Amino acid sequence: MLIRISLILAIIAALAAGVLNILQVKDKITTLTTDRNTQRDGRIAAEGERDKTKKELAKTQDTLKQTTQDLADSRSERDKAVATATAQEKRANDLSDKLAKTTQERDDAQTQLAAYKATGITPDQVGKLSRSLKESQEAVEIVNEEKLVLQRALTRLQARLAKYEGPDPTIRLRADLRGKILVVDPKWDFVVLNIGQDQGVLENGELLVSREGKLVAKVVVRSVEKNRCIANVVPGWKLGEVIEGDEVSPAHPAS
Question: pLDDT tens for residues 67-85?
Answer: 788 778 778 877 777 777 7
Backbone conformation region of residue 120, classed left if phi is above 0, alpha if psi is from -120 to 50, else beta: left
**Percentage of the chain with pLDDT > 90?**
29
Q: pLDDT tier at 15 (50, 70, 90 boundaries)?
A: low
Q: What kind and span of H or E run contains 80?
A: helix 2-119
Q: CA dihedral in degrees (223, 225, 227, 230; nearest 10)?
A: -20
Cα–Cα dist 223/203, whole Å: 6
Question: pLDDT tens for residues 110-146?
Answer: 777 676 666 666 666 666 666 766 776 776 677 566 6
Question: pLDDT tens for residues 177-199?
Answer: 999 999 999 889 999 999 999 99
